[in-house]
Amino acid sequence: MFKTRLLSGIVLVILALFFIISGGYILLGSTLVISLIGLFEFYRVFKIHNHSLGYVGYVACVLYYASISLLPKGFTFPILIGFLIVLLGFYVFRYPKYEIREFMASYFGIFYVAVMLSYIYQTRMIEGVGQYLVWLIFLCSWGSDTCAYCVGVLFGKHKMAPVLSPKKSIEGAVGGVLGSALLTAIFTYIFKDAMNIDTTKIIVLSCGAMLGALISMIGDLAASAIKRNNDIKDYGKLIPGHGGILDRFDSVIITAPIIFYLGGFI
């Protein structure tokens, strides 16, 4: 199991390197595909993946990604409003076919999966520093997760969320936060000239990485809570040893917007 998980992780890192370094439409297309798969996994939990509410969500996802790349800024929000209006139409005119739970899941899924993951692309496309800043998303999520796991295994004694995730410890969480800050400090120091930042901004970014790491843990636990509420172990089986897209990107989803806006502030 560990070998399978390790090999899958290596493949994921290689693919991430290729897509993110390439940027542009290659990254846009790959992020869209990941979002559609993640949206399918999320909708499957609520059993709307092959119903009208799911199909409308897939179309909205594609239109949203088209808007952030092809249309002027400010057109994304009208698309989301239009999506809500269409869903309301289905909810009203096909009543009582759909329950409010299914309706809410359809709309929430677009924000939770498609919109949040799109910030990987949007961060990468920040002029000048995007090609470096985008990696902080993964340092704050995957990097934090790795550090938390290692520290938790070695020193973990106090459970952080015993009911929701019994294996996670407070010591591991602290290790993840500090590890994320350290990785970010090292990364930004190496590329400080290319990013045109000074020591003060390195410190600010490292502190921001600590916040990103904390938020990534919320994303991880939130994804676990959704699974437990619906009595499933994994969102899918696409990635051997890891599960589905949402199982692997649960922390990335919530971290990406934080890094995007932090980068804009810096």
pLDDT classification of 63: cutoffs 50, 70, 90: very high
* pTM for the structure as a whole: 0.91
pLDDT classification of 154: cutoffs 50, 70, 90: confident
What radius of gyration do the chain's Cα atoms show? 19
Read off the pLDDT of each residue in 127-143 and give the average, rounded to a whole number: 89
* Helical packing angle, 245-265 and 116-124, nearest 10°: 50
3-state secondary structure of 143: helix
Cβ atoms < 10 Å from Cβ of 206: 20
- Do residues 168 and 160 make contact, with C-beta atoms less than 8 angstroms apart? yes
Residue pLDDT, tens place only, 9-62 = 788 878 888 998 888 899 999 999 999 999 999 999 999 999 889 999 999 999
Q: Which of 14-18, 160-164, 177-181, 227-231 has the highest mean pLDDT?
A: 177-181
- Closest C-alpha to 81, from 101, 110, 53: 110
**Sign of the alpha-carbon dihedral angle for 170, 257, 43, 98:** positive
Read off the pLDDT of each residue in 87-111 and give the average, rounded to a whole number: 89
The one-letter code for the residue type at 186 is: I
Place of tokens 């980068």: 263
**Which helix (DSSP H) or strand (DSSP E) does residue 247 occupy?**
helix 245-265
